[in-house]
Each structure stands twice: as C-alpha cells, then as structure tokens.
Amino acid sequence: MSVEDELEQGFEFDFQHVEDSIAKHTLRAFSDILTDTTETVYCLSLYYTGSSFSYLFPTYNTEQALLKQSKKKSPTDPLNHAQRALRIRWSPCDFAYHADTETLGEEVEKVLAGIEAFAESFSELESDDEYEQYDRFYSAIHARVINALKQVCMQQLIQQRWAGDQIFLVNLFCGDQSNEARIENAIDIGNPEWMIEKYQQQENESYELLSYKMKNRIELPEPTITLDELLPWVDRYQPKIKFNLDMLSVSPHFSLRYRGDDPVEFEAVNNEFRVLDMLSDHPRYAELQQYYQTKGFSGARTGEPLFEFGRALASKLYEQLKEQYPEKKYIVALIGIQPIAITVFRPEGRLPNNIRNARRMADSREEFELLFVQNEADE
C-alpha cells in the first residue's frame, strides 16, 4: 500500500478529483505567467494556508524583481545588498508578484470548499480522534497537491524550458514553513537533482542570514506617542457593514461568508486587517510604521498605545456588528503579534490559522498577547 493510500484509507472523498482539478488549473496559471512575463522567472509555486487548504493560489518571482527588492534597506537591517537578496530569495511573501492572483479559478475554489466542508465533519468526533483524522486528511490533500504539481512538471510547458536555458524551481509554499518541508516538497515534485542541491544550499544560507539579522538588528527607539494621540482615529472609524448575497462585508477591511446552509454562522474570508492601516493619515504614521514593521515578530504588548488602540477599534466594531446584526454569531479578536491585526471569525469549529498561530506563539513566548474582545454575539 502506498503512502497516499494509507493516508486516504477510510475517507469517502474524491481525492483524485482534487489532484486533477488543481493540476489542470495550475498548468494554465503557470503557462500564463511564463507567457506574459518578459523577466527571468526563477520560482513558480503554489501557496496555501498551511495546516489546511482554505486558499491555494499561484505565486512566483523573477531575478529582476528580486534585485530591485533587495535594494530596499530598512534602518534596522544589518545585511548588505547581496545578503538581503539571498535572505528573501525563497521567501514567498517577499516575492514581488506574490498574490497577484489569489485564486486558481472557480472550479478549484469549489474543490477547496469541498475539502473544508469534509474536514468540518471531524468536529463531531472526540478531541484526540478529531485531530488525528484532521491531520491525516490534510496530509492526504497535501500529497495530492504535490502530485498535481508533479503532473504539471511532466508537461511540455515545463520540460522544454528545463531542457533549455529557462531554469526555475517549482514548489509548494505556505506561511511558517520550515526549510526541510520546502526542500522535501521540491524533491517530491520532481525538480532536477542539481537544482535541488542549489536550492537546498541557498535555503540553508538564507536561514543563517536570518539568525544573523535577528542577532544584529539595529534597534529603533520606541515611539513616545500616547494613546490619547491615537483615540481620535477610533472616533473616525465608521465601518460600512452590509450583506451582499451570502456575504457580510465590512468595507474596506474584510468579508465573511455564511457557513454552509446555516444563516447565522460565518466562515472567515479575508477576515483580518492591520491596525496600523487605520492610522495611515496620522501625522506620526511613518514613525509608527517604521518602528513596528522592523520589530520582527515581537509585535505589541497589552498596555502599549498601538495595542490599546487596536482594542478600542475591535470593541467598536464588535458593538456595531452586535447592534446591526444581533442574530449573527462571530468572534472579534485582536492579535498582538506582528502585524497587529483585528480578525473576525465564527465561534464553532476549528480556529482560523491566524488565531491558531497566535495562540501557539502566545504559549511559547511571553511577549505575545491574544485578546478576545468578545467570545460570541448575543444569541
């Protein structure tokens, strides 16, 4: 029995359809990228949620874009130009063209919705069984996405370019992903062996540069701004909340959709916005942005002005949602890690990844804070 068969055993789910659909539309997406760009592509990848597949979209970067990005130096960055280029070379969120297209098309979106719906059935199990089933199911989905990329790499579109002078890596990336996982994905997808060796070397060197950067980061003085200087921007926060078909949108920040056929529960969709974005026209915005964006993952702590500003924003949003739609169920939360953000999600089922990651980090590092403004709306 193959590894895939072992992972899929016992699940009444069409895994082959997942693989074939993703392969078909990834091939189209990669073809569009390679045809439309005049720059030198060095990486083509799919990017997904991490522990689940609530989203999956193509991402890529080029040598020209990397060179341009590496010239941007923050005041706290101890790396030189060449080091910075290597440091961000394989960081998908630093790709110039990351999330240019946030979907593989309607057919794949339906496939992903089916995956999420099937995984929701595990919530009816006991805790240990739920997590075992959930992890095994998503491991099976991950294996099928790898197979889909393997299918793509066997097509003429990729093979001809690999045989010529267009050298690029094909991979499956996600946030908070280890070097080992990225390298294993690249191997399983079927990239040429010599390319894997070069990629592995660069990933390891990049990790060493990250350690060096964190140890030698130039510290900026903390802004002396007070909460009183920020609170007027809470008064100015007037979110426009409306329903559009089965979607709740809070313009211009996020949207939520109904969960299945239940008219009172929401599923998170683009459900997070950065607190700093609300201060974009504040006279001290540039100072705040520079300080918090260069703090790495240390974020803000309870009691700091920006965190308390976020708390006030989240509370206002919650009160407005409760007043306008008292029958709806949701949680409004403030995440005190970088970037400091407000998020909204439904109270039942598994937590969204941003909340799960915040909780995990809060358990391991004292400086991380997670505030639930309200556990759920009044029923």
pLDDT in tens, 66-104: 999 888 866 667 788 888 888 899 999 889 998 888 889
AA letter at 78: P
Residue 43 and residue 185 share a domain: yes
Closest CA to 173 of 61, 340, 299, 39: 61
Residue 189 and residue 244 share a domain: no
pLDDT level of residue 373 (50, 70, 90 thresholds): very low
Residue 373 near residue 322 (C-beta atoms within 8 A): no
Can you tell me the distance from the alpha carbon of 282 to that of 270, in angstroms, rounded to the nearest whole number? 25
For 104, the domain range is: 3-215
CA distance to 212, 220, 277, 324, 377, per residue, from 110 (Å) = 43, 46, 32, 30, 29
Query: Which two three-digit tokens encode residue 162?
Result: 């690999």
Query: Which two three-digit tokens encode residue 262?
Result: 């239940």
Residue 80 and residue 12 share a domain: yes
Domain assignment present for 252? yes
Give the DSSP letter string of 315-351: HHHHHHHHHH-TT-B-EEEEE-SSSPEEEEE-SSSSP
**Single residue among 184, 215, 246 that ends a domain in this structure:** 215
Residue 367 and residue 254 share a domain: yes
pLDDT value, residue 367: 38
The 10s digit of each residue's pLDDT in 212-265 is 877 777 677 778 889 999 999 988 877 776 655 555 666 555 555 555 555 555
The 10s digit of each residue's pLDDT in 281-338 is 899 988 887 777 665 445 556 677 887 888 888 788 878 777 877 776 666 777 665 5
Residue 179 and residue 32 share a domain: yes
pLDDT at 274 over 70: yes
Q: Where are the beta strands (DSSP E) in 94-221?
A: 169-174
Residue 85 and residue 16 share a domain: yes
- The pair phi, psi for residue 241, each rounded to 5°, is -110, 125
Residue 300 and residue 180 share a domain: no
Give the DSSP letter string of 44-66: EEEEE-SSS-S-EEEEEEEHHHH
What residues contact 164, with CB distance under 8 A and at least 6 apart? none
pLDDT at 369 over 60: no
Residue 189 and residue 107 share a domain: yes
Q: Across the chain, what does the average pLDDT equal?
A: 79
Q: How far apart are the first and last CA of the chain?
A: 49
Residue 301 and residue 243 share a domain: yes
User: Rg for the chain (alpha carbons), in Å?
Assistant: 22
pLDDT value, residue 145: 97
Can you tell me the distance from the alpha carbon of 84 to that of 92, in angstroms, rounded to the nearest whole number? 14
The pLDDT > 70 percentage for the chain reads 70
Residue 237 and residue 158 share a domain: no
Residue 239 and residue 152 share a domain: no
Average pLDDT over residues 34-50: 93
Domain assignment present for 173? yes
Can you tell me the distance from the alpha carbon of 142 to that of 131, in angstroms, rounded to the nearest whole number? 16
| SS3 label, residue 376 | coil
Per the structure, the count of domains in the chain is 2
Domain assignment present for 240? yes
pTM over the 0.75 mark: no
Residue 19 and residue 55 share a domain: yes
Average pLDDT over residues 19-41: 96
pLDDT level of residue 376 (50, 70, 90 thresholds): very low
Residue 120 near residue 134 (C-beta atoms within 8 A): no
